[in-house]
Chain A
Amino acid sequence: MSELLSATFLTALVSGAILAGLPLLFAGLGELVGEQSGILGIGMEGYMLLGAYAGFNGALYGGSPWVGMLCGVVAGLAIGSVVMLLSVRLGLDQVVVGIGVILLGEGLTSLLHAVQFGASYPRLGEMNDLPIPLLSRIPVLGESVFSQPLIFWAGIALVFMVRWMLRSTRWGLDLRAAGEKPRALDAAGVSVIAVRSWAVLVSGALGGLGGAYLAVVSAGVFVAYMTNGLGFIAIVVAMLARGRPGWVLGGSLIFGLCLSVATALQVIGVDVPTDIVYMLPFLAVMVALAAFARRSYLPAALGVPYGRGER
């Protein structure tokens, strides 16, 4: 047991949790913003894959991980605007559009990757870590938490920013009203369609950023279907977070922890079948749900297209 508490193991565990959890954090925050405005972003898996592909190419040809992140955001915005047009402006069924986006993301990225690189998988260099002076010399936490690339801190800052915007700004109030009682928002003279459009674009951008983080920072490589259900977990995390960004952060890190346990165990020489590893986060959610029997609260108008003057 002493090995389980060794500094090597704990460092690998924590830094692995952050590496695996951050893509989920971005995607989960994006999903949260969308859900709060009344748009169910089933297509998150598609946003992430397109962001991962664009981010990988941006980092590869742009020469900098930051170009990759930017490309991920742009790809997310592009697909987000398609969803905005179909689901918000035209009021089409959000589930069908979402599944279309997932299949499009899966098909398009693996098709383009195969045409571009064939069976070879070029790797990216690692992103520069930014050790925080003094703090990075704390034994376990120093090497894991306080020696992360800058984008990690951007993610943490984003949690607080989204929290502040949802709670304390006019924009956040409009957003939540669009999800809870769109008619009241309309009566107050704010365009529900416009608010939801912005929310979907933010959702797409953050989903794309999450995908780009996954490909550029976490993996350093693009592989077809690399999200492996992460977009669905983002939906679940956002639903369980019930509009509170802090919970998305917590959920993402717990998820990351589940995935990194296996890697960390391998560091100290214990081998675990990958199928069990992949099962862990889902098992964790099931156990949490069954044990606490919590109800996930969702905005009242989630999934309902809004049209003025409709009953």
Chain B
Amino acid sequence: MSDGAPSRPESAAPRGGRFWSRMLRALGPVLAALAVGALILLLLGRDPLVFYGDLFRAGLVSASGWQGMITRLAPLLLIGTGFIVAFRAGLWNIGGDGQFVLSAAFVAGLAPAVMSSVSRPTGLVLLALVGMVVGGGWTLLPALLKAWYGINEIITTLMMSFIGINLANLLIKGPWRSAETTVPQTGAVPLSDLLPRFGGTTIHVGIVVGMLSVLVGWYVLDRHAVGLRLTILGANPRAAVHAGLHVKRIIVVTFFVSGALIGLAAAVEILGVWGYMRADWNPGFGLALFALVFLARLSPLAMVPLAAFYAVLEIGGHEAARRSGLDYDFILVLIALVLLFLAVSQLLGSSRDERRGLATRLVARLNPRRQP
């Protein structure tokens, strides 16, 4: 089949059309969100071109921009994979922010003591484990209540999230408070003693961990029997029981893995970027990522570009907002617009049956009557 004479021209045209419709579905919502954002900027008396120029320069094009973006991507990929693992099994772990913040507090609070008493590699591994155990452990109560009593995990994970965030603040203002600062925060460990960086850049090895989690997540969920079991549980819990799956054990383990990945994200962020944690620090990655993994249709690989774009907005947005004298909150508006337009774009080129899939799964899980 040579390039000049395609043997099946009748199928080439729709394929080309599909390519353009895919591009439109991917880029259209972003452009539409940027356009509406530009209108808001004009109304606020700012020049949209200058703002977007700053945003993409500071978040993508400049050296500090793309490095910052990749650095930020590391925890996002871990959190996203953590969400996807749970959502595949139809388990709604929506307490990601609490698991993240509490793990971060434990890692930052224990870091000074751990790093001064053991060697650097051992200390880093230990702290990563601390993050994973805390994040995973914080999901145990919702998981057990779900597995044994069928209590709606949307409620319990959300409640545990708020409790975790406040508990983290109590710990930082109490036992782990550093005596050296007036603002309540944990003792700082110099970043040079923490996660190694790639030569000459600010990018730390966390991005490798993040990419690994995506690849392992993709392999396990899409290419391995474990993923199939989760999908069966997510699609039809009663069928899962009849298929002989240990549903209770799967629920608890899946929840733990989901929380552990989110805890690992916190460890990576603290050990790679900060070295300490301030009270009331909550980057709130959970909410936007929650929606993004939906739009990626719970595929770890499809999540990567969406998370990367979110990272660009986050990193570039701070700089652009500062330069234009606007609140960073404008970026929240922009992210909200991207989400809404992305949701609308799902209307294009997908059948109505496909669209119903996610919502049907949500309800299957929401409704206790259909549970085992």
Contacts of A134 in B (CB 8 A): none
Contacts of B334 in A (CB 8 A): 107
| Complex CA distance for A97 and B290, rounded to whole angstroms | 12
| Complex CA distance for A279 and B168, rounded to whole angstroms | 11
| B166, CB-defined interface residue at 8 Å | yes
A103 touches B173 (CB 8 A): no
Distance to closest chain A CB from B34 (angstroms): 15
| B155, CB-defined interface residue at 8 Å | yes
With A103-B332, A296-B152 as contacts: A279 and B162 at CB distance below 8 Å? yes
With A92-B346, A279-B167, A295-B151 as contacts: A99 and B339 at CB distance below 8 Å? yes
Please report the total number of B residues contacting A with Cβ < 8 Å.
Answer: 57
| Complex CA distance for A125 and B287, rounded to whole angstroms | 35
| Complex CA distance for A240 and B158, rounded to whole angstroms | 14
Contacts of A282 in B (CB 8 A): 159-160, 162-163, 166
Contacts of B331 in A (CB 8 A): 107
Contacts of A99 in B (CB 8 A): 287-288, 290-291, 339
Contacts of B160 in A (CB 8 A): 282, 286
User: A69-77, A108-116, A137-145, A261-269: which one contacts chain B?
Assistant: A108-116
User: B5-13, B14-22, B120-128, B355-363: which one contacts chain A?
Assistant: B355-363
Contacts of B162 in A (CB 8 A): 229, 232, 278-279, 282
| Complex CA distance for A276 and B150, rounded to whole angstroms | 28
Q: Looking at chain A's contact residues, is the secondary structure mostly helix, strand, loop, or mixed?
A: helix
Output the nearest chain B residue to A287 by Cβ-Cβ distance. Answer: B159
| A95, CB-defined interface residue at 8 Å | yes
For the complex of A and B, 5 pairs with smallest distance between CB atoms: A107-B332, A103-B336, A107-B333, A104-B336, A100-B339
Name B's A-contacting residues (CB within 8 A): 44, 141, 145, 149-152, 154-156, 158-160, 162-163, 166-167, 169-170, 173, 287-288, 290-291, 294-295, 326-327, 329-337, 339-340, 342-344, 346-347, 352-353, 355-356, 358-360, 362-363, 366-369
What 17 additional pairs, Cβ within 8 angstroms, besides A103-B336, A273-B173, A294-B151? A40-B362, A92-B344, A92-B347, A95-B290, A99-B291, A100-B336, A107-B333, A108-B329, A111-B44, A275-B166, A276-B166, A282-B159, A285-B155, A286-B141, A289-B145, A296-B151, A302-B367
Name A's B-contacting residues (CB within 8 A): 40, 86, 90-97, 99-104, 106-108, 110-111, 114-115, 224, 229, 232, 235-236, 239-240, 273, 275-276, 278-279, 282-283, 285-286, 289-290, 293-298, 300-305, 307, 310
